[in-house]
Structure 1
Amino acid sequence: MSTPTPGDGWRRPGPTPHQQRLDLYAGLALTVLALFNLTLTRSTGSFLLGPPPSVPEQIFWTVAVPLPLIWRRRHPAVTIVVVSAMFIAAQARSAPEAQLSSWALFAAIYSLGAWGPDRRLSRRLRIGVIVTMFAWLGVYYAVTVGSIPPDAFAQAVGPVPPVLAALVSGVLVNGLYFGFAYFFGETSWLAAYRQHELAEQAEELRRTQAEARGQAVVGERVRIARELHDVVAHHVSVMGVQASAARRVFDRDATKARTALTAIEETARTAVDELRRMLGVLRASEGPPEHVEAPAGVDRVEEVVERARDAGLRATFAVYGEATPLPESVSQAVYRVVQEAVTNVLKHATGAGVLDVRLRYLAMEVEVDVTDDGRPTRAPNPDGLGLIGMRERVATHGGVLEAGERVGGGWRIRARFPLAVAVAEPV
C-alpha cells in the first residue's frame, strides 16, 4: 500500500492547447527519428534480438511504439498501456529498432506520473507496467539463455560468472531506467502541486490584504466619526447653554449677556481650531507632512472644566497621586472621556449645578471620575454615540468604563486605563 502524497485529492489541470501542440510535434519527431534509426540499424546488421521480421512489419513496430506519445498529456493512462504493449510485442517479434522505443517507454511512464489525474490509478498502473516489463525481461532471459553460443564469453576475465553478470547488469540497468522514469514523473507532479499551492496562498494573501484594507477604512471612518462627535457635540452644547443664558439675561443684565456671547465666540473658535487640526491630520497622509498641532490631552482637561464653569456649573477639578507621563493616545483618551462626560451633563442633566472632575494616578492605572448632581432628561441610551465613543476609547487601551446613576443622585462616568498595558502599546 503506497504512502499518501500531499495533494492526493488535487487534480492537475489538463494540458493547454500549446502543450498539446508540443506533444504532437514531439511525438511525430520521435517517430521520424525512430524510422531513421531503423535505417541505420538495418544498415549495420545489428539484429540483437534475433532475425528480424519483414521490412513492412519492422516499420510498423518502429512507428507503433513512439507515435502514441502525441497524446501523452491528454490521455496519459491510455498512452502508457499502448506504448508498453507495443514495446513488448515489438521485442517479441525481434523488431531491430530498440533505442528510440526505449525512450518512448520512458516518456510514457514519466507522463503518467506527471499528468495522471487519478493519483492512485497512476501509481498502480505505472507499477503494473514496471512489474510487467521485469517479467518480460525474465521470460526473455529464460528463453534465450539456452541459445547462448559456447564461445560467447570467451573473453570474460571477471570474478563473476558471465551469465550471472549479464543477468545482474540487465536488472540493474533496467531498475535505474524504470526508477528514474517513476521518480521524475512524481517530482514533476509534486512541482505542479506546489505551484498550485503557492498560487492559492497568493490569492488568499490578496483576499486577506483586501479585507484588511476594508477593515482599516471602516476603522478610520469610526475614528473620524468619534472625533467629530467629541469635538462638535461638546462645543455646540457649550454654545447652546451660553446662548440660552444670554437670551435669558439679555434685557436685564447686558454685562452677563456680553460674557455669555464672548464665551460662545471663544467656544466656536476653539471648535473651528480643533476641526482644522483634524483636517490637517487627514491631509498629512495625502501629501508632504505639515506641522500639525498635537491633540489635546490631560494637560487640557482643566480647560474643559473651565468651559463648564462658564456655562454656569459649579465645576471643580482635582488631581490625586503623583502625575506620571502618559502615552499620547492614553492622554488624549482621558481628555475625550472628560469632554464627552461634561457634554452629557450640559445636554442631558436637568437641574445640574455641581460638576466634579477627578484625575487619579494610581500604582498601575490612571482613573478619571466625572460626577454631577443633575437628573437625566430622558432614559439613558446605552447605544448613544457618546457612550459608544467613550467605551471604544477605553477598550482600545484595555481599560474599563463605568457609567450610571449615583446612589445619592446625579450621574457618574468613571474610566480606568491600565498603565502597564498602555505603556507597552505603540503610541
Structure 2
Amino acid sequence: MSVEAAAWRRPGPTAKQRRNDVLVGVAVAALAQLNLMLATSAGLLPLGDPPSRPEQIAWTLVITLPLAVRRRWPAAVAIVISVAFIAAQIRRSPEQQVTQGALSAAIYTLGAWSRDRLRARWVRIAIIVAMFAWLGIAVGLSVPDVPADAFPDAAGPLEPLLAAVASGVLLNALFFGFAYFFGETAWTSARRRHQVEVQGQELRRLAAEAGERAVMGERVRIARELHDVVAHHVSVMGVQASATRRVMDRDPAKARTALAAVEQSARTAVDELRRMLNLLRSTGADERPDGSGVDRLDDLVGNARDAGLTATLGVYGDPVPLPDSLSQAAYRIVQEAVTNTLKHANASAIDVRVRYHAAELEIDVTDDGRGAPPGAPAGLGLGLIGMRERVAAHDGTLETHSRSSGGYRVRVRFPLAESQAVAV
C-alpha cells in the first residue's frame, strides 16, 4: 500500500446510509427470529439441547441488531457480533444461518469502512483466529461423543470424521476469506473513486487555468495586432497632416497631395483593421490577412516616403517562398520599425534590406535618426515586445540598438526550412 493510500481516510456514512443501516439491522434481526422459529419447529438443533426460548431470542438479537450501526462504528460492531456469536454457540443457540451472515457482514464492513486501516486489519485477523480457535475447541470437545456408526453412508478414501472436520475448516476459510477480501476490495474501490474525483477536480482546475491563459494570450495577440495595424498608419497620417499644415498657405498643391496621402492611409488602416478582425474571428490564428507579407514591403517604404523620409528598399539573394506566418511576421516587424522611426527618431532617411541567405532570412532596417537615449532600457515598448514575440515564435533572433554612426537598427534573422534552403 502506498503512503498516499495509507494516509487516506474514507469519509463516514451519509445520513441516508445510516438510515439504510438501521433498516437492514432491523430486517436481519426479524429474519433471524423467523429462522429461529423454523429451526426449532423442525427440530434442527445442531449444537444439542438449546437454552430457553427467551435466551435464544436474546442471542439472535445481540448478534444481528448491531448491524444497524455497522458503518458508524465498524470495529466495535465486528467485535460485539463475533463475541456474541461464540457465546451463542457455547450456549447452544440453534439459529446458525442468519447469524453467520451477520458475522460475515460485520467483517466485510470493518474492512470496507474502517478509517484506521491498521486497526481494521488486526481486528479482523483476531476475529478470524478466534473463530478458528473456537472451531478447534468445539471439534475437540465433540469428537469423544461421536458414535462409531455416525457416518453409515461414508464411502470416500478419507476417514469420515477427518473429512467432516476438513470440510468444516474449508467452508469457514472460504466464509471468512471472502468477507475479508471483499471488504478490502470495497475500501480500495472507494479510495479509487476518491482519487478519480480529486483528479477530475484537478483537471477542471487546470482546464480553467488553461482557458484563462488562452484568453490572456488572445488579448495580447489582439493588442499586438491592433498596435501593428493602427500605430503605423496613424503615425504616417500624423506626419503627413503636420506637413500639410506647414505648407498649406504657401504651396496648396503640395498640401492637397499630402491630404490625399492622409486619406489613403486612413482607408488602408480601415481595410487592414477589417481584415485583422476577420482573421481574429477565424479559427486559423496564423493565417495572414491580404497585404501583410514580404511581397508588400514596398507599400511600407512608400508610406515612409510619402511621410517625407528618404526611404529605400533592397532585396538581396534569390527570394524563396515563405510560410504565410513567417512572411507576415517579417512584414509586421518592418512595419513596427518604420512606425518607430516616424514617431520617435526624427530621421530623414530609412533603409530596409531583405537578404535571402542559404539557411536564413535576414531583415535589416536602419535610419539616421537620433537613436535611443543613453541609458534608456531596451525593449520595453509594446511594439518591441511584439517584435520579440513574433521572432521567438519562428525561432529567430532579434537585434535592436543604436548605431555608432548615428540612427537606429532593427535586424532580424529567421531560420529557413531545409526545403527552402535547398531552393536558394
TM-score after normalising by structure 1: 0.93
Segments of structure 1 that go 5 or more residues without pairing to the other structure are 286-291
Asked if the contact 2:372/2:401 (under 8 Å) is kept, the reply is no
**Change in CA separation of 1:394 and 1:318 when aligned onto 2, cut-off 3 Å:** same
Cα distance in structure 2, aligned partners of 1:262 and 1:294: 23
Instruction: State the 1:421 CA deviation.
Output: 9.9
* Correspondence for 1:233: 231
Give the alignment partner of residue 356 of structure 2, picking from 347, 357, 361.
361
* C-alpha spacing 1:258/1:295, structure 2 compared with 1 (3 Å): closer
Residue 98 of structure 1 corresponds to 96
In structure 2, give the amino acid aligned to 1:324: V
Give the whole-Å Cα distance in 2 for the aligned partners of 1:79 and 1:5: 28
Provide the C-alpha distance between the structure 2 equivalents of 1:166 and 1:295, rounded to a whole number of angstroms.
96
* Partner secondary structure for residue 318 of structure 2: coil
Q: Which residue pairs with 2:210 in the alignment?
A: 212
RMSD, matched Cα: 2.0
**Superposed CA offset, 1:355-389 (max 9, x none):** 11111222332221101111137455531111111
Q: Distance in 2 between matches of 1:325 and 1:125?
A: 78
CA distance, structure 2, for counterparts of residue 422 and residue 137 of structure 1: 84
Q: Which amino acid aligns with 2:16?
A: H
Q: Could you tell me which residue of structure 2 aligns to residue 412 of structure 1?
A: 409
Equivalent in the alignment of 2:395: 398
Cα 1:311–1:422, aligned 2, differ >3 Å: closer, same or farther?
Answer: farther
2:372 and 2:128 map into 1 onto residues whose CA distance is: 90
Distance 1:211 1:26 in 2: 46
Give yes or no for contact 2:394–2:414 (8 Å, CA) kept in 1: yes
* CA offset digits 1:243-273 (Å, max 9, x no partner): 2222222222222222211111111111111
Report if aligned partners of 1:348, 1:378 keep a CA contact under 8 Å in 2: no
The aligned residue for residue 299 of structure 1 is 295
Q: Secondary structure at the match of 1:376?
A: coil
| Mapping of residues 322-333 of structure 1, within 5 Å | 322-333=318-329
For residues 132-281 of structure 1, the aligned pairs below 5 Å read: 132-281=130-279
Q: 1:218 to 1:329 in 2, by over 3 A?
A: same
SS of residue in 1 equivalent to 2:414: strand
- Report SS of the residue matched to 1:409: coil
Following superposition, the deviation at residue 116 of structure 1 comes to 0.7
Asked whether 1:317 is paired with 2:279, we answer no
Inter-partner Cα distance in structure 2 for 1:185 and 1:322: 77
Q: Which amino acid aligns with 2:182?
A: F
| Structure 1 residues 35-90: Cα deviation after superposition (integer angstroms, max 9, x where no partner) | 11111111111111121111111111111111100001111111101110100100
Relative to structure 1, the CA distance from residue 325 to residue 312 in structure 2 (aligned partners, 3 Å threshold; closer, same or farther) is same
C-alpha separation between the residues in 2 aligned to 1:130 and 1:240?
A: 93
Q: Which amino acid aligns with 1:277?
A: R
Identity fraction in percent: 60
Corresponding pairs, count: 415
TM-score normalised by the chain length of structure 2: 0.93
Distance 1:421 1:138, change over 3 A: farther
* Alignment-derived partner of residue 42 in structure 2: 44
Structure 2 distance, partners of 1:421, 1:57, is 94
Structure 1 residues 420 and 136, CA gap change in structure 2 (3 angstroms): farther
Deviation at 1:216, TM superposition (A): 0.9
CA change 1:17–1:248 in 2 (3 A) is same
